[in-house]
């Protein structure tokens, strides 16, 4: 049993890095090819546009990328590890603070429950309102506006999940468990639909001839990346806080 917050946060950060490594493997084996296809489409489209305006396709107007594709692959792996580890630090801190309020009876169960909430709030809800886009989709001019609505939606859905947990705990003191569960389920649907309706519409413009199946694949793979990260984070943290943690204890 772990009651030292620093030990919990360290374990969660380690678990997050391990989950990020799994996400990086998913990127290298699955989603990178989708991303490359999207970039190839983007380049082809811009070449076509150039040849139409200049009238001479032999002129190479393609701009040199600031960071090569190879380096961006390393960047994606580093990004995955960092995403996992940073999420792990936040997750571990919140876990330590709310552990005694989570309904499961084991740390493994509690970590899984919190990770499920985190996945829902920071991945599923944003994916419904502002789904992921591959390179070549989206207008650079409104990227700040898209970033603001995305980040504030993340904040709002985290607030809603927190509110629902508080509500559930209060309902349990007034009603029997099934009634409380039905009421909190109804409250979840109402509050999430309200947030999704209230937030501004997605302004992303998909180029007219962008392949629909490529866009769909990319969106599903982005959500899968987040599922792997959150799933790994919850399960690894739970494991490190129970059996697996003994391996770490030996070294301390």
Partner 1 sequence: MSTPNAAEVTAVDQPIEAIHVPIEAWIAAFVAMFIGYLLFSENGFLLTENWEMAHEFFHDGRHSFGVPCH
> Position of tokens 């997750």?
91
Binding residues for partner 1 restricted to 202-221, rule: CB under 8 A: 218-219, 221
DSSP one-letter string for 61-121: -PPPPSS-HHHHHHHHHHHHHHHHHHHHHHHHHHHHHHGGGSS-SSHHHHHHHHHHHHHII
Query: Distance of CA 50 to CAs 63, 111, 198, 208, Å?
Result: 12, 53, 40, 17
19 touches partner 1 (CB under 8 A): no
Q: Which is nearer to partner 1, 56 or 70 (CB)?
A: 70
The reply to whether 27 sits near partner 1 by the rule CB under 8 A is yes
Helix (H, G, I), strand (E, B) or coil at 46: helix
The contact mask relative to partner 1 for 101-140 (x = CB under 8 A, - = no) is ----xx----------------x--xx--xxxxxx--xxx
123 neighbors 223 (Cβ within 8 angstroms)? yes
Q: Does 200 bind partner 1 (CB under 8 A)?
A: no
CB 130 within 8 Å of CB 153: yes
Which residues ranging from 44 to 103 are in contact with partner 1 (CB under 8 A)?
65-67, 71-73, 75-80, 82-83, 86-87, 89-90, 93-94, 96-97, 99-100
Question: What span, in angstroms and rounded, lies between the C-alpha atoms of 101 and 170?
Answer: 12
Interaction site with partner 1 (CB under 8 A): 1, 3-6, 8-9, 23, 27, 31-32, 35, 65-67, 71-73, 75-80, 82-83, 86-87, 89-90, 93-94, 96-97, 99-100, 105-106, 123, 126-127, 130-135, 138-140, 143-144, 146-148, 150-151, 218-219, 221-223, 225-226, 229
């Amino acid at each position: 049993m772990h009651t030292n917050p620093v030990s919990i946060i360290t374990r969660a950060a380690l678990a997050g890095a391990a989950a990020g490594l799994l996400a990086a493997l998913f990127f290298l084996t699955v989603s990178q090819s989708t991303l490359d296809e999207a970039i190839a489409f983007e380049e082809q489209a811009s070449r076509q546009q150039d040849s139409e305006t200049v009238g001479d396709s032999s002129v190479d107007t393609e701009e040199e990328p600031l960071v090569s594709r190879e380096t961006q692959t390393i960047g994606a792996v580093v990004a995955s590890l960092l995403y996992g580890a940073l999420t792990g630090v936040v997750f571990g801190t919140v876990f330590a603070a709310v552990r005694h309020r989570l309904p499961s009876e084991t740390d493994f169960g509690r970590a899984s429950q919190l990770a499920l909430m985190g996945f829902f709030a920071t991945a599923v809800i944003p994916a419904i309102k502002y789904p992921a886009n591959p390179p070549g989709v989206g207008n650079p001019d409104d990227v700040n506006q898209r970033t603001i609505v995305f980040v504030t939606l993340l904040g709002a859905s985290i607030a809603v999940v927190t509110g629902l947990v508080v509500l559930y705990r209060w309902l349990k003191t007034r009603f029997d468990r099934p009634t409380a569960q039905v009421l909190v389920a109804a409250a979840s649907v109402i509050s999430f639909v309200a947030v999704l309706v209230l937030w501004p519409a997605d302004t992303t413009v998909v180029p007219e001839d962008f392949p629909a199946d490529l866009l769909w694949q990319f969106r599903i793979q982005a959500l899968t990346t987040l599922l792997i990260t959150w799933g790994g984070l919850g399960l690894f943290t739970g494991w490190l806080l129970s059996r697996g943690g003994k391996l770490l204890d030996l070294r301390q």
